[in-house]
Amino acid sequence: DMKVTQMPRYLIKRMGENVLLECGQDMSHETMYWYRQDPGLGLQLIYISYDVDSNSEGDIPKGYRVSRKKREHFSLILDSAKTNQTSVYFCASRTGNYAEQFFGPGTRLTVL
């Protein structure tokens, strides 16, 4: 079953707290992505991972870091969350440059 999962689906944190968003995929895809989605701005790329321990900044990496220790898992970490990081976060994976991306269901993060 080709699937991308995200945990948790909903999260409320206070400003200054640390946040961990998790993403998993069962397709052995090499490349994984983290995006955030805000009204009127579409999908903005935060980080790309090409494979285990091979990550690259996207367009808006400030305030975020990532970890990929297994091909199936890709984590997004917010150290000391800020209110402007309130958003919906999507993880995606794909097998090559010309392939479709498979997206997870998203995590709705609210930072108070």
Q: Which residues bind another protein (CB under 8 A)?
A: 4, 31, 33, 40-43, 45, 48, 50, 56, 58, 90, 92, 97-98, 100-101, 103-106
Shortest distance, position 15 Cβ to another protein, whole Å: 27
CB of 45 or CB of 86, closer to another protein: 45
CA distance 93 to 86: 23
In sequence order, the 6+-apart residues with CB closer than 8 A to the CB of 108 are: 9, 10, 11, 88
Whether the Cβ atoms of residue 59 and residue 111 lie closer than 8 Å to each other: no
Which residue, 54 or 83, has its beta carbon nearer to another protein? 54
